Structure 1
Amino acid sequence: MVLSSQKRVTAPSLKTAKVLRGQLGKVPSIDWSKNGEYLLSACTDDFLLVWDPKTYNRVALIPVPNIWVMSCAFSPDTSTAAAGGLNNVCRITRLDSEEISSFDLLGHSGFISSCRYINENRLLTSSGDNTCKLWDLQTQQAVSTFEGHERDVMQIAVHDAQPQTFVSGSLDGSCRVWDVRTAKCAATLVSTKITEYNAVTMSPFIHCFASAGENGIASAFDIRALGQTFEYENPQGTMLSCITYSASGRLLFAGNGSSSCNVWDTVTQTSVANLQGHEKPLSCVAMHPDGTTLASSSLDESIRLWHM
């Protein structure tokens, strides 16, 4: 199939639907529930907020004191939420009971940069201590530690259809593919231009992923080929802080330090939009499971929902 024959995706199909305000501080992280019914946001004032994207209302306020939240995640069945913080702790809070109950996962010696469930009982975390860990939530203990990065691990990404592997991106200038079953590194991938990775995301195609660099470059990799497939450069020249794909894999979204979100067409490998509206750098972008809405969070204490 010839690239030039592909229909170009146009920017007018991306419009802001709603701005979710009323956050309790900056919003470093957001996560959709698997069924798409709720959006979880982390606030730097040590709260998790749950939003109804249909009514745009906040439906739950969950205190997570004394951890200085940096990352958050819903469990697959939305019964619990994870919150990772600057105090090296990941806190698990139950959401399916009237009374709030929680427990802490202890073992990292650096901040928790991201957390991702692989099922209801297993959670992955990445940390500023250069490692990732796999946790058993029933025993509340780490069952594996993934070592090899030489600097802070900034994010991990897992594909729902292949939870036995995950990807990590680090400030050491490498992305690593890990085997959950053996706790071993299966591959190390590097870009020709990126020296520090801030974020990684899995493609809907399972065997591919994309990364966001501190120098404003986004790179895509094919795990099977063990190589880079293409790269994009932020026209604003500022760092890329977060990244995600559209549900089809056609579009790649990357939030930047200029308070906007770059949108690239992965087929024609061209820039198709620059989503503007936030007033400070973006911290996270997340696609709704049905592919109809992109959520973006920012240090301006707001979340924006963009209709596809």
Structure 2
Amino acid sequence: MSATTIEAPFALVQTEELRKYSIASQTGHILRGEYEEWRKRTMDVTISEISGHIPPIPPKKYLTHHVTLTGHLNKVVDIKFSPDSKKLLSVCQDGFGIIWDVLSGLKLQAIPLVHRWALACSYSPSGKLVAVAGLENKCTMYNVNVDLDELLEENSDSIELSKRGQSTMSTQHQAYIGVLEFLSDREVITGSGDSLIRLWDVEKRCKIREYTEHSGDITSVLIAPQDLKTPWSFYSSGADGHVRLWDCRQPKCVHSFSVSVSDVNVVTQSPDGNSFVSGDDLGRCQLFDIRSLCPIESYVLQDQFEYKKEPSAFGILQPNSSLHVPPPPPSPGLTASNRRGNGYDISGVTSIAISKSGRIMYTCYADYSCICWDLFQKKIVERVGVGSVAHHDRVDLVRVSEDGQGLATASWDTTVKIWTC
């Protein structure tokens, strides 16, 4: 009898909690449906529709191969231009980071990494520090403000010199650090596989603030351009399908965007700061307007092509030759196993960069290298690096220099290529 007296109240409380949860869940679905209907009514036009009167970009190859940076012994995992656009930092899982002179293609510094398994790197706004992080769950700073004349006078090795001023922050992440960015010379942001983003004091090597609203791996972090007078703002994307806009002074995000049912691999901002582009694991890029807080255009590679329904002699569907824009061939060294059904199953977006004009979007696909999109008219302009100057393996990264004059692509073929307009 006593057992019934004890258990009955607990069962009643549990039933009441389930009832409240069910009501709250149903209310949430109704409100979300109403919000989606309202948003669709306000989305009266897309950017490609309203840009129909703008002259198209001439159909010619406007990118010229400038130099190939060779020296790594494994795939390049991250690249960053210096703030003055004269140098490029690349890190590789061969245990070294290299700083290159962009114009000549010469190596300026070789940095022996404390931990070999690097995943991300970043340049400080002053160009005096670089940060590297990866599978070791730590972030290491390197002083690269080196006088090369002093180096020659001392008759010492650049590798040893690069160890001066080296410091490692124990960032207390419980998983790998996949992304990092300098907010200033004194602050750095790290994003980890433990779904946490942390802001760190570089000098004191201590945590300033933690951001916890993502529910999956952090896949990218983007600092708002300094010239927009918002040095405290940054974006993040995650495996939870969301992009979030943060004010680094607050623990809660300013805006949250539900972007995809899959992982959002990358987010990048337009030069004017009024919009951003996300790329997900389904091969879709979406342009979001910050002022209206909604998507204004979507870019899907499959939509650009049509295919004959008759399979070829090799069992692979062939593109329709009557189309103005032929589909790009897969990257060298990769099979066609991802082609299914009546079209191509395009793999995920791995990197995005936007030109300084805000007109061109450079997008890396796992199996289709780097594709140039006209953001306004939703058309493919060209494919970066074809023919004799092409990469020989998957192209995973693309970056635009700070001055907008250069473009860098990094590949699994161990090289980085610099392109000019």
Normalised to the residue count of structure 2, the TM-score between the two structures is 0.70
Q: Which amino acid aligns with 1:208?
A: S
Structure with more relative contact order (C-alpha pairs < 8 Å, separation 6 or more): 1
Partner of 1:302: 415
Partner of 2:214: 149
Larger Rg: 2
Match of 2:267 among 200, 213, 218: 200
SS at match of 1:185: coil
Task: For residue 73 of structure 1, report the CA deviation from its aligned partner.
Answer: 0.8
SS at match of 2:384: strand
Query: What pairs with 1:31-70 in structure 2 (closer than 5 Å)?
Result: 31-70=80-119
Match of 2:401 among 266, 288, 305: 288
Task: For residue 11 of structure 1, report the CA deviation from its aligned partner.
Answer: 4.2
Give, in whole Å, the separation in 1 of the partners of 2:347 and 2:66. 26
Give, in whole Å, the separation in 2 of the partners of 1:149 and 1:182. 15
Give, in whole Å, the separation in 2 of the partners of 1:254 and 1:242. 6
Question: CA deviation digits over 1:167-201, x for unaligned, max 9?
Answer: 1111111111111011211111122x552111111
Give, in whole Å, the separation in 2 of the partners of 1:53 and 1:270. 30
Match of 2:196 among 119, 122, 131: 131
Partner of 1:104: 168
Q: Percent identity?
A: 27
Partner of 1:158: 223
Give, in whole Å, the separation in 2 of the partners of 1:259 and 1:300. 15
Q: Quick check: 1:5 aligned with 2:24?
A: no
Partner of 1:223: 290
Task: For residue 2 of structure 1, report the CA deviation from its aligned partner.
Answer: 4.9
CA RMSD between the two structures:
1.6
Partner of 1:122: 187
Query: What pairs with 1:215-294 in structure 2 (closer than 5 Å)?
Result: 215-235=282-302, 237-276=346-385, 277-294=390-407
Give, in whole Å, the separation in 1 of the partners of 2:274 and 2:233. 10
Q: Which amino acid aligns with 1:295?
A: A
Give, in whole Å, the separation in 1 of the partners of 2:73 and 2:126. 26
Give, in whole Å, the separation in 1 of the partners of 2:370 and 2:261. 19
Question: CA deviation digits over 1:179-231, x for unaligned, max 9?
Answer: 1011211111122x552111111211113111111111111112222111211
Larger deviation, residues 74-83 vs 61-70: 61-70
Partner of 1:167: 235
Task: For residue 20 of structure 1, report the CA deviation from its aligned partner.
Answer: 1.3
SS at match of 2:86: coil
* Contact 2:94 2:116 (8 Å CA) reproduced: no
Give, in whole Å, the separation in 1 of the partners of 2:368 and 2:413. 9
* Contact 1:241 1:257 (8 Å CA) reproduced: yes
SS at match of 1:28: strand
Give, in whole Å, the separation in 2 of the partners of 1:37 and 1:104. 27
Task: For residue 67 of structure 1, report the CA deviation from its aligned partner.
Answer: 4.6
Identify the structure with the greater helix proportion.
2
Partner of 1:26: 75
Give, in whole Å, the separation in 2 of the partners of 1:218 and 1:116. 22
SS at match of 1:13: coil
Task: For residue 85 of structure 1, report the CA deviation from its aligned partner.
Answer: 0.7
SS at match of 2:178: strand
* Contact 2:213 2:252 (8 Å CA) reproduced: no
Partner of 1:214: 281
Q: Quick check: 1:83 aligned with 2:132?
A: yes
Task: For residue 287 of structure 1, report the CA deviation from its aligned partner.
Answer: 0.4
Q: Which amino acid aligns with 2:66?
A: A
SS at match of 1:225: coil
Question: CA deviation digits over 1:226-278, x for unaligned, max 9?
Answer: 11121111346121101111011111111111151011111112111122422
Q: Which amino acid aligns with 1:227?
A: C
Task: For residue 56 of structure 1, report the CA deviation from its aligned partner.
Answer: 0.8
Task: For residue 288 of structure 1, report the CA deviation from its aligned partner.
Answer: 1.0
Give, in whole Å, the separation in 1 of the partners of 2:68 and 2:187. 33
* Contact 1:149 1:172 (8 Å CA) reproduced: yes
Q: Which runs of 5+ in 2 are unaligned?
A: 1-48, 147-160, 303-343
Question: CA deviation digits over 1:52-79, x for unaligned, max 9?
Answer: 0111111110011325111111111111
Distance change >3 Å, CA 48–CA 14, structure 1 → 2: same
